[in-house]
Structure 1
Amino acid sequence: MSFKIAIIGAGSVGFTKKLFTDILCVPEFKDIEFALTDVSEHNLGMIKAILDRIVEANGLPTRVTATTDRRKAIEGARYIISCVRVGGLEAYADDIRIPLKYGIDQCVGDTICAGGILYGQRNIPVILDFCRDIREVAETNAKFLNYANPMAMNTWAAIEYGKVDTVGLCHGVQHGAEQIAEVLGAKSPRELDYVCSGINHQTWFIELRLNGREIGKDELVAAFEAHPVYSRQEKLRIDVLKRFGVYSTESNGHLSEYLPWYRKRPDEITRWIDMSDWIHGETGGYLRYSTETRNWFETEYPQFLEAASKPIDASKRSNEHASHILEALETNRVYRGHFNVKNDGVITNLPRDAIIESPGFVDRFGINMAAGITLPEACAATCMASINVQRMSVHAAISGDIDLLKLAVLHDPLVGAVSTPEEVWQMVDEMVVAQAQWLPQYAHAVPPAKERLSKSAVKTREWAGAARRNVRSIEELRAEKAALKQAG
């Protein structure tokens, strides 16, 4: 087979390498072309050198090109994969820093909450540019695979306004299933069968079977509470399991941001989170992790390049959906996964226009969703709160309506639990002004926002958050890795 895959935001080096090697684990895909594109020529150069080394070491005919001209990369592509972060770590830092001034403590801030909503405002205009290029120069009926957050908002915009064939992809379901299999004592995650459905980052394991035996709430709660690690790291997630009756796919830290109950009081936050790793609830944890990862890659690049000389091991193919979807579409080997698509009645008690994450099967005929799923009422209610925020956020990003943007932020569950309307109005003004270079649709709103900020009497606080850690130096990271290696 010979076709072209364009990867937008390919400077996300580790993830691009994973996608690349996963796809090349499919025997029929050796002769395809990868077109890498990114706004950073520096990052492109680094990832192209790594992928070229992989191709050379494995004696493959695979072609790899790299260009900052996105349209050129997309031209003739059958599949377009996006893993962009518009504004990079600079804008992301504001997504965490500014809401903290108004008492909003986020662990990740890339899905909803104040940070995720502004992230969507930056991404959606760019997503629509991608879609225009796909419609105009990609292969006819090309498929757009979106890995970028905020997943639901980006996918919603691409389907509803971009008018391209789009699926959103995430690995939260797989990771949650691995946890459940482990606490239940399974020898392999493959022993666990499940139906998981909801919306991205609020997906729920509504049916569980281990080797054919149905697993109920009480057994699952007992298994998690008995686990020596998860009982400590996933306290909030276990509490939600007890109250809702089903387990959420999302990590302790991520889940805490989407609910109005666990992060609204600084003195309560530390009760529910765990500081052993960023993902369990640390303030700005993913920002710290992303910063350290980028610094580490820049410093240790020669090691990454050397590692690329190893043969591809198909047994280590990851459970990221992309390679499996492409394999199913091209070879008709059926793949079952969980995909982000427009609802259109798949989940009976969520709106038809919402972007859901739910089970589907892929073959030559495309992605075929399993329809007729009804969520438990508490799960549906929690999803609905986010869907309403997502819908307003997408419409605001398309229209450049700053008042609608403020209403979207106001209706966010955690923001609403922490901040007053006056604080939300000022916070959004401050974020739009700070991120103006990435928000062209709000150019007309920036001068009035600056004027309002100059006259505002709303008080803010300089606060690092309830559980903030400093970014570690390269030396500290080296020492930690050495200690882990010695202990292991």
Structure 2
Amino acid sequence: MSFKIAIIGAGSVGFTKKLFTDILCVPEFKDIEFALTDVSEHNLGMIKAILDRIVEANKLPTKVTATTNRREALEGARYIISCVRVGGLEAYADDIRIPLKYGIDQCVGDTICAGGILYGQRNIPVILDFCRDIREVADTNAKFLNYANPMAMNTWAAIEYGKVDTVGLCHGVQHGAEQIAEVLGAKSPRELDYVCSGINHQTWFIGLRLNGRQIGKDELVAAFEAHPVYSKQEKLRIDVLKRFGVYSTESNGHLSEYLPWYRKRPDEITRWIDMSDWIHGETGGYLRYSTETRNWFETEYPQFLEAASKPIDPAKRSNEHASRILEALETNRVYRGHFNVKNDGVITNLPQDAIIESPGFVDRFGINMAAGITLPEACAATCMASINVQRMSVHAAISGDIDLLKLAVLHDPLVGAVSTPEEVWQMVDEMVVAQAQWLPQYADAIPAAKERLSKSKVKTREWAGAARRSVRSIEELRAEKAALKQAG
């Protein structure tokens, strides 16, 4: 087989390498072309050198090109994969820093909440540019695979306004299933059969069978509470399981910021989170992790390049969906996964226009979703709150309507639990002004926002959050890695 895959945001070096090696685990794909594109020529050079080394070490005919010219990369591509972060860590820092001034403590801030909504405002105009280029220069039947957050908003914009065949992909479901299999004592995650449905990052395990035996709420609660690690790291998730009756796919930290109950007061935050790793609820945890990872990769790049000389091992193929979707579409080997698509009746008690995440099967006829799923009422209600925020956020990003943007932020569950309308209005003005360079649709609204800020009497505070950690230096990271290696 010979076709072209374009990766937008290929400067996300580690993730691009994972997707690349996954795809080359499919024997029929050795003759394909990868076209890498990114706004950073420096990062493109780094990833191309790594992928070239992999191709050389495995004696493959695979072609790898790299360019900052996106249309050139997309020309003739059958598949387009996006893993972009518009504004990079600079804009992301404001997604965390500014809401903290108004008492909003986020762990990640990339899906909804104040940070996720502004992230969507930056991404959606760029997503629509991608879609225009795909329609104009890519293969006629091109498929757009979006990995970028905010997943639901980006996918919603690409389908509804970009008019491109799009599927959103995430790995939260797989990770949640691995946890459940472990606490239930399974020898392999393959022993667990599950139905997971909802919206991205708020997906629910509504059906569980271990080796054919149905698993109920009480057994699952007992298994998690007995686990020596998860009982401490996933306290909030376990509490939601007890109250809702089903387990959420999303990590303790992520889930905490999508709900109005657990991060509304500093003392409540420290009660429900765990500081053993950022993903369990640390304030701005993913920002710290991302900053450290970037610095570490820059410093340790020669070691990463050397590691690329090892043979590809198909047994180590990751559980990311992309390579398996491509394999199913191209070879007709059927793949079952969980995909982000427009609802259109798949989940009976969520809106038709919403982007849902639910089970589907892939073969040469495309992605075929399992329709007619009904969520438990509490799960549907929680999803609905986020869907309404996502819908307003997408419409605001398309229209550049700053008043609609403020209403979207106001209706966010955590923001609404913490902040007053006056605080929300000022916070959004402050965030839009700070991120103006990435928000072209709000250009006409920014002068008035600046004027309002100059006259505002809403009080703010400089607050690091309830559970903030400092970014570690390369030396600290190296010492910690060495200590762990010695201990292991």
TM range (shorter): over 0.9
Question: 1:265-312 deviations in whole A, cap 9, x for unaligned?
Answer: 011100000000000000000000000000000000000000000000
Identity rate, percent = 96
Shift of 1:387: 0.0
Question: 1:361-405 deviations in whole A, cap 9, x for unaligned?
Answer: 000000000000000000000000000000000000000000000
Question: 1:169-195 deviations in whole A, cap 9, x for unaligned?
Answer: 000000000000000000000000000
Shift of 1:262: 0.1
Q: State the alpha-carbon separation in 1 of the partners of residues 479 and 189 from structure 2.
A: 33
Q: State the alpha-carbon separation in 1 of the partners of residues 408 and 62 from structure 2.
A: 45
Question: 1:229-271 deviations in whole A, cap 9, x for unaligned?
Answer: 0000000000000000000000000000000000000111000
Q: State the alpha-carbon separation in 1 of the partners of residues 14 and 128 from structure 2.
A: 25
Shift of 1:107: 0.1
Question: 1:72-118 deviations in whole A, cap 9, x for unaligned?
Answer: 00000000000000000000000000000000000000000000000
Q: Give secondary structure in 1 for the equivalent of 2:445.
A: helix
Q: State the alpha-carbon separation in 2 of the partners of residues 149 and 480 from structure 1.
A: 30
Q: State the alpha-carbon separation in 2 of the partners of residues 480 and 313 from structure 1.
A: 29
Q: State the alpha-carbon separation in 2 of the partners of residues 221 and 348 from structure 1.
A: 27
Question: 1:380-433 deviations in whole A, cap 9, x for unaligned?
Answer: 000000000000000000000000000000000000000000000000000000
Shift of 1:485: 1.1
Q: State the alpha-carbon separation in 2 of the partners of residues 266 and 409 from structure 1.
A: 21
Question: 1:302-361 deviations in whole A, cap 9, x for unaligned?
Answer: 000000000000000000000000000000000000000000000000000000000000
Shift of 1:486: 1.3
Q: State the alpha-carbon separation in 1 of the partners of residues 395 and 450 from structure 2.
A: 23
Q: State the alpha-carbon separation in 1 of the partners of residues 104 and 418 from structure 2.
A: 6
Q: State the alpha-carbon separation in 1 of the partners of residues 311 and 384 from structure 2.
A: 46
Q: State the alpha-carbon separation in 1 of the partners of residues 22 and 246 from structure 2.
A: 32
Per the alignment, residue 225 of structure 1 pairs with 225
1:74 aligns with 2:74: yes
Shift of 1:153: 0.1
Q: State the alpha-carbon separation in 2 of the partners of residues 346 and 15 from structure 1.
A: 30
Q: Give secondary structure in 1 for the equivalent of 2:359.
A: strand
Q: State the alpha-carbon separation in 1 of the partners of residues 369 and 376 from structure 2.
A: 19
Q: State the alpha-carbon separation in 2 of the partners of residues 383 and 484 from structure 1.
A: 40
Q: State the alpha-carbon separation in 1 of the partners of residues 477 and 329 from structure 2.
A: 41
Shift of 1:484: 1.2
Q: Give secondary structure in 2 for the equivalent of 1:336.
A: strand
Per the alignment, residue 379 of structure 2 pairs with 379
Q: State the alpha-carbon separation in 2 of the partners of residues 146 and 445 from structure 1.
A: 29
Shift of 1:41: 0.2
Shift of 1:141: 1.1
Q: State the alpha-carbon separation in 1 of the partners of residues 476 and 226 from structure 2.
A: 33
Q: Give secondary structure in 2 for the equivalent of 1:205.
A: strand
Q: Which moved more, 1:402-411 or 1:478-487?
A: 478-487
Q: State the alpha-carbon separation in 1 of the partners of residues 278 and 348 from structure 2.
A: 35
Q: State the alpha-carbon separation in 2 of the partners of residues 342 and 445 from structure 1.
A: 31
Q: State the alpha-carbon separation in 1 of the partners of residues 391 and 464 from structure 2.
A: 31
Q: Extract unaligned runs of 5+ from structure 2.
A: none
Q: Give secondary structure in 2 for the equivalent of 1:208.
A: strand
Q: Give secondary structure in 2 for the equivalent of 1:372.
A: coil
Question: 1:5-59 deviations in whole A, cap 9, x for unaligned?
Answer: 0000000000000000000000000000000000000000000000000000000
The equivalences for 1:78-93 within 5 A come to 78-93=78-93
Q: State the alpha-carbon separation in 1 of the partners of residues 213 and 476 from structure 2.
A: 46
Question: 1:114-141 deviations in whole A, cap 9, x for unaligned?
Answer: 0000000000000000000000000011
Q: State the alpha-carbon separation in 2 of the partners of residues 482 and 36 from structure 1.
A: 34
Per the alignment, residue 100 of structure 2 pairs with 100
Q: State the alpha-carbon separation in 2 of the partners of residues 450 and 275 from structure 1.
A: 38
Q: Give secondary structure in 1 for the equivalent of 2:444.
A: helix
Q: State the alpha-carbon separation in 1 of the partners of residues 244 and 487 from structure 2.
A: 38
Shift of 1:483: 1.2
Q: Give secondary structure in 2 for the equivalent of 1:315.
A: helix
Q: State the alpha-carbon separation in 2 of the partners of residues 129 and 421 from structure 1.
A: 33
Per the alignment, residue 274 of structure 1 pairs with 274
The equivalences for 1:122-141 within 5 A come to 122-141=122-141
Shift of 1:487: 1.6
Q: State the alpha-carbon separation in 2 of the partners of residues 367 and 485 from structure 1.
A: 43
Per the alignment, residue 437 of structure 2 pairs with 437
Q: State the alpha-carbon separation in 2 of the partners of residues 378 and 139 from structure 1.
A: 42
Q: Which moved more, 1:61-70 or 1:477-486?
A: 477-486
Q: State the alpha-carbon separation in 1 of the partners of residues 155 and 258 from structure 2.
A: 19
Shift of 1:212: 0.1
Q: Which moved more, 1:286-295 or 1:476-485?
A: 476-485
Q: State the alpha-carbon separation in 2 of the partners of residues 321 and 484 from structure 1.
A: 31
Q: State the alpha-carbon separation in 1 of the partners of residues 148 and 479 from structure 2.
A: 32
Q: Give secondary structure in 2 for the equivalent of 1:444.
A: coil
Task: Work out the number of aligned pairs and report it.
Answer: 488
Query: Normalising to structure 2: TM-score of the pair?
Result: 1.00
Q: State the alpha-carbon separation in 2 of the partners of residues 281 and 209 from structure 1.
A: 29
Q: State the alpha-carbon separation in 1 of the partners of residues 415 and 72 from structure 2.
A: 41
Runs (4+) off by over 4 Å: none
Question: 1:441-468 deviations in whole A, cap 9, x for unaligned?
Answer: 0000110000000000000000000000
Q: State the alpha-carbon separation in 2 of the partners of residues 226 and 472 from structure 1.
A: 33
Q: Give secondary structure in 1 for the equivalent of 2:443.
A: helix
Shift of 1:475: 0.7
Q: State the alpha-carbon separation in 2 of the partners of residues 299 and 351 from structure 1.
A: 47
Q: State the alpha-carbon separation in 2 of the partners of residues 445 and 58 from structure 1.
A: 54
Shift of 1:151: 0.0
Query: Normalising to structure 1: TM-score of the pair?
Result: 1.00
Q: State the alpha-carbon separation in 2 of the partners of residues 481 and 174 from structure 1.
A: 27
Q: Give secondary structure in 2 for the equivalent of 1:300.
A: helix
